[in-house]
Amino acid sequence: MITSTKQSQEKQKEAQRLFNQGLNNKEIASKLEVQEKTVGVWLKHLKERFIKMQKIEKQLLQKIEDYLSNKETTPKDLRDLFASLHILKAHQLKKV
């Protein structure tokens, strides 16, 4: 028999998986047969992480744009920024 805590943990993992697939809280709640508010609590940390990564991505893209307009920018400068952007994207796509 699976305990209530174990069931909750399994549903949380499933909610994270569904979120990664692009479902919204309402859709996830319906699939898992829980309240939408519960899903919101479960996914709060993921959404905060996502927002932080979006801010970092925006900063990197702005820096790339600045470097492209600067004649003194070296290929290494751009390569380093694109590597940082690549790493960030890899973390965004990482499954929970």
- 7 burial class (0-12, 13-18, 19+ CB within 10 angstroms)? exposed
Q: How far apart are CA 49 and CA 37, in angstroms?
A: 19
58-96: pLDDT as tens digits: 999 999 999 999 999 999 999 999 999 898 888 776 654
Tokens of 84: 């940082």
Q: Do residues 90 and 57 touch, judged by C-beta distance below 8 A?
A: no
Residues in Cβ contact with 88 at an 8 Å cutoff, skipping those fewer than 6 apart? 53, 56, 57, 60
- Domain encompassing residue 47: 4-93
Number of domains observed in the structure of the chain: 1
User: So what's the pLDDT on residue 96?
Assistant: 46
Q: What is the pLDDT of residues 2-34, one digit of tens each?
A: 567 888 899 999 999 999 899 999 999 999 999
